[in-house]
Structure 1
């Protein structure tokens, strides 16, 4: 990235297109708004139902939407915020090379992390949309493919630079004016370990974008370019104003989260990496400043600024201030939500690395930024902030040579963490948190297709973090390998556990253990590169549990009893952490004894 304005950079698009602005009546406005949302959702359905790799097909690690000629987002699918929020940056990266050359029938493949991509495994497909012979917009989608070549299968951590990550595809026209470039596509497939999966995913991405192109063109044919784009402008302005209205209700000021620390960079062991987040609120705008965060590192554990940091900041501010559970009005997700939220990160740091540093493994860092934004604003948003969440996407790539000896099998799994408690609600258990929003992969699907046996998959045994509203519980999963298997990870165990809020207790860190409970037990680092698990070895993965919110001694005794009966807590836990005396056999609370115990503790 070039030098950044210290006031911050926004993800919002540039000026509107060339349409003529017209008045749109309220009914037509709502119809067009509904149509845009439906287009994005249908695009995502096509993608995840057609995809070959389990990460897209089962976990829905994807994004799709429609964008105007300047890359402003008109609508996005209800999938991973990172994928949707980064597509405008993909378009800007593609435009720098192809602007002025687009033709009907073009299909562009892009994954360059220094030119807009979220990271190189997220293939982006962008199709220019033409109407009446004029370029009016784009249909775009992204999905995480199983392998992009490079040093190691699936995931890479200890790599020297961005070229070592895999095949970089910078604004490559795989269809030019409707003519398919088979030689280029074959070249891409010849440089990955999972050519069949990648080809299936590529065709699914193309089908997704083509559907968006067709549906948006149909909308233009029905209502006309001026009406549709004027309605889209109105919806974007409406979303912007709704978010700015909420920002104006936050007192102006500078709010800093406690500095948190990532485990390490995957190579320099036990050297923690600082994440410093300061949120500045001024009028109806927010700037998230990452000054003070760690310098960039010599591994893949850096973050693309435009493709990953900016979408995270926009998503965090929108999520906190326009929480759907607390906002009566419908507010669509579009370019308007990006405009008031800006970000700044000094060059040469973890969140704005200098080319050609690798930035393949960037998700635990951006989840920590999201978590820190939330914690920074906790005092001024007590009804919306959440105690510390797991905030560490746990991605693991399992791989081995396929029986044919000509390719690899690669399985990438996203393990589930948890949310912290919030004012009025307990934290969510065993779910991807913050920027992830991916689903778990069914055990049956994994066992059917790979030499792995699930011996355990459940909530962690340890009790949740105490609070008036308890923290969520992370998952624990144990795999037994049925063949020699290589493993690469880009997780973070949270050596500094998720923070409690308002008197709630901190959560729990996670762990990776090979052959747990045996005389060969070995604790692994959260980030490994091509670690070998032999046939018969087991791997136990524990994800962090979220922090609690509020004084545990103010928790409703009935809720404590429910947790005991549901085996989240023991009777001793209830007495020690909540001041509640439970008769397990009778399934009741001794309210008099509990009142005395709580009074004595106070």
Structure 2
């Protein structure tokens, strides 16, 4: 049992570790989209794949999606098969943050071997970055399937026991318009995780921690209890809202139903438009990311964002809908629709807690994309 004062000290040290992880990534990045825009996420996970803490820099579509996607990595490479020096990578839209431009890199962290004892897995560091180019038609809505949008890298090893997968990097370099910044940012992702891993081992040595699990359980359980308490404070009931946005074939309908019972809440996007023929479709992982983000902002913004704060929230959308797009649907500009989800949820919550939600706005980000 960790006492409250020690837990607070250790929690703040973990935040410092993941912030240093993100800082190392940004300082070694080759591109302004990572270095200046902060289009990234960084976090630390226990050996079971539960997110414990995240860096302060990042986007909900990255960090909340990464909290789910690490379990896909562990399904392909179970924890007991990993070795020191392994680094995993993918840009699978369905399993990560929704489009091919985002690479997620996961690095297992091992304790130093001791006399009579091999190195032990103590946790994972992960980050997601938006790379400058991934080939294909480029970032946008023009593609009619994911195959047109660029190079797809399934979950694979970027490093195997410390040996770089040069064939994968050669393949990447040959398929993107800007190989130097793309490969540079991927190596920056590896470097960020490496910094985080070294700091985690120092932290565990300082506090004489044999395992990260007791600390992870304490942090996650407290976050879960706080999130459940915030949900329980709402009256039981069901609330709906509908938001429309310009589409291609027809206007896009985003319909949400919130059902609250006890200390849990269900968010159902049934009634939303079907998949579009253009690259504005959203995968369920991204839908989950921005749904949980909106609820946390409205109900418990002070609660740490980790595995515990996600547990009382259940998200669903019909397969084949624009918010649960199935392969090979085009997803390159999934944020165009995904960024409307918080506003839709706020509209439903305004029926019961109007003083705690912001007024409806343009929702989507307005930015200029220059390529050449």
TM over 0.5, shorter chain:
yes
Q: 1:92 aligns with which of 67, 71, 88?
A: 71
Q: 1:243 aligns with which of 217, 227, 232?
A: 227
State the match for 1:314 in structure 2: 292
Secondary structure at the residue paired with 1:277?
Answer: strand
Q: Does 1:119 align with 2:99?
A: yes
Alpha-carbon distance in 2 for matches of 1:183, 1:354: 29
Q: 1:294 aligns with which of 256, 273, 278?
A: 273
Q: 2:325 aligns with which of 345, 349, 353?
A: 353
For the 8 Å contact 1:219–1:228, the answer to whether it is kept is no
Alpha-carbon distance in 2 for matches of 1:40, 1:242: 22
State the match for 1:177 in structure 2: 161
Alpha-carbon distance in 2 for matches of 1:225, 1:309: 36
Alpha-carbon distance in 2 for matches of 1:98, 1:323: 34
State the match for 2:213 in structure 1: 229
Alpha-carbon distance in 2 for matches of 1:350, 1:112: 18
TM alignment of 1:553-564, pairs within 5 A:
none
Secondary structure at the residue paired with 1:361?
Answer: coil
CA displacement at 1:301 relative to structure 2: 1.0
- Residues 1:297 and 1:309: Cα distance change in structure 2 (over 3 Å): same
State the match for 1:26 in structure 2: 4
Deviations 1:132-179 (A, max 9, x none): 5232321000111111111x23x1312121121111111121110001
- Residues 1:118 and 1:67: Cα distance change in structure 2 (over 3 Å): farther
Alpha-carbon distance in 2 for matches of 1:112, 1:245: 35
TM-score by length of 2: 0.94
Alpha-carbon distance in 2 for matches of 1:310, 1:241: 20
State the match for 2:359 in structure 1: 387
Alpha-carbon distance in 1 for matches of 2:288, 2:179: 32
Secondary structure at the residue paired with 2:188?
Answer: helix
Secondary structure at the residue paired with 2:69?
Answer: helix
Secondary structure at the residue paired with 1:394?
Answer: coil
CA displacement at 1:227 relative to structure 2: 6.2
Alpha-carbon distance in 1 for matches of 2:109, 2:238: 43
Deviations 1:107-152 (A, max 9, x none): 11111012234321111111011235232321000111111111x2
CA displacement at 1:394 relative to structure 2: 2.9
| Structure showing greater Rg | 1
State the match for 1:62 in structure 2: 40
TM alignment of 1:154-173, pairs within 5 A:
155-173=139-157
TM alignment of 1:134-173, pairs within 5 A:
134-150=120-136, 152-153=137-138, 155-173=139-157
State the match for 1:207 in structure 2: 191
Q: Does 1:104 align with 2:88?
A: no
For the 8 Å contact 1:126–1:138, the answer to whether it is kept is yes
For the 8 Å contact 1:89–1:117, the answer to whether it is kept is no
Q: Does 1:193 align with 2:177?
A: yes
Q: Point out where structure 2 has 5 or more consecutive residues left out of the alignment.
A: 112-117
For the 8 Å contact 1:278–1:288, the answer to whether it is kept is yes
For the 8 Å contact 1:69–1:136, the answer to whether it is kept is yes
Deviations 1:442-465 (A, max 9, x none): xxxxxxxxxxxxxxxxxxxxxxxx
Deviations 1:546-584 (A, max 9, x none): xxxxxxxxxxxxxxxxxxxxxxxxxxxxxxxxxxxxxxx
CA displacement at 1:379 relative to structure 2: 2.3
Instruction: Identify, as 1 or 2, the structure richer in helix.
Output: 2
For the 8 Å contact 1:33–1:232, the answer to whether it is kept is no
Root mean square deviation of aligned Cα: 1.6
Q: Does 1:74 align with 2:48?
A: no
State the match for 1:344 in structure 2: 316
Q: Does 1:129 align with 2:101?
A: no
TM alignment of 1:583-602, pairs within 5 A:
none
| Relative contact order higher in (CA < 8 Å, ≥ 6 apart) | 2
- Paired positions, count: 364
